[in-house]
Copies of this chain bind each other. A is one copy, B any other.
Amino acid sequence: MVGGGRDAFIGAVHRHAAFLDGRIDLVAGAFSSTAEKSRVSGKDLFLDPKRVYANYREMAESEAALPDGDRIDFVSIVTPNHMHYPVAAAFLRAGYNVVCDKPMTFDLAEARKLRTLVKRTGKVFALTHNYTGYPMVKEARDLVRRGKLGEVRKVVSEYPQGWLADKLEATGQKQAGWRTDPKRAGASSCIGDIGTHAENLARYITGLRIDSLCAELTTFVPGRKLEDDGNVLVRYKGGAKGIVYASQISVGEENALNIRVYGTRASLEWHQEHPNELIVKFSDKPRQVLRRGNAYTGRAATAHTRLPAGHPEAFIEAFANIYTEAADAISEEVSGRKPKPHDYPDADDGVYGMAFIDTCLKSSASKQKWTKFPRV
């Protein structure tokens, strides 16, 4: 693991997710930007001190020098955004597979470079758009693919949070600090951190790709450098229309990622805060509530379910499903087996997400004009 020392949020989540199934061990790490903090974090995690490194470069080199079977199989990158590219590039070049937090990189250009490197090295690169790991999100995708909704006409994907409604970064809070700092987060805060999840979720479920968009980005908190709210109208290729919005100033909202997809024959609705249910609506028959763990769910939902119905699964289990899929691919890569198709967000998804951020920023900078989505 690179990043994820004491006080970090997402590093701990990655570890819970990786440990859950007893299949992945944490054996080495460079957990912080300072050697001492890294050392202390490694101790917290019961690691062999020899494999707790002062920085990611030392880690990539030293691990590579270990004998076959002893060195790590992949690295998890859980740093702020500006470090994703250098760390991923270093480990890919040193021959390692990579699991990386989102958004993929600091900007779109870096994302394209990283994708090229991934393709050249042939290594696994998994991006933790974790919300696509939820079984009922997979079920939603299945329903769309199997034509149960008919043709998709409209998508509303929303992600309001309220935790940055005040200037939290001024208090020294670490998570707020880097997410609102253009040097570490990139040119976007709200869209980059959570708007990309909303976009990714819509694309994962529907397969729709954006033709053009009109983004109204706003910075509500005085003195903040990056936007903390974004409302986006979307035209999808093929004629469907969408709304994607994200917010960090929606007081009292916690992590309210919700999606509604309307087709010609049926519609669906899913709420991240109640993830075990998928609501399907029809014009001529009763609304259905599909619940995780039942025999009537499709193959993908079932394959990513650990517990019977009524025994709720949640965030960590969904996150772990990204790891499980990545681990299958990594296991194949490490053992030289032929890769099977896998279900994790990859470098193409990462580039697409960065293009979404980039296009929202461009639209907003041009007085919120409709802006063409680039070829990715």
Contact = CB atoms under 8 A, between A and B. Distances in A.
Contacts of A235: 216
A62 interface: no
Interface string A232-262: 0101000001010101011111111000101
Contacts of A283: 162-163, 165-166, 251-252
Contact of A229 (B23, B154, B313): B154
Interface stretch (A8-16, A88-96, A327-335, A345-353): A8-16
Interface in A9-47: 9, 12-13, 15-16, 19-23, 26, 45-46
B247 A245 contact: no
A218 to B, nearest CB: 5
Contact of A255 (B266, B311, B370): B311
A206 interface: no
Given A21-B16, A288-B288, A312-B315, A293 B367 contact: no
Contacts of A16: 20-22, 306
A354 interface: no
B370 A367 contact: yes
Interface string A257-278: 0001011111100001111100
Interface string A302-322: 000011111111111100000
Nearest to A306: B16
Among A45, A153, A280, residue most surrounded by chain B Cβ atoms (within 10 Å): A153
A233 B251 contact: no
A241 B160 CA distance: 14
A289 interface: yes
Contacts of A264: 165, 251
A281 B310 CA distance: 13
Contacts of A21: 16, 19
25 contacts: A16-B22, A20-B316, A22-B26, A22-B46, A153-B249, A160-B260, A162-B262, A163-B308, A165-B264, A243-B243, A247-B262, A249-B262, A250-B260, A251-B262, A251-B266, A252-B282, A253-B267, A254-B293, A254-B310, A254-B311, A255-B310, A274-B312, A312-B315, A313-B314, A316-B317
List 7 A-B pairs, minimum CB-CB distance, nearest first. A252-B281, A254-B310, A255-B310, A314-B314, A312-B314, A286-B288, A287-B289
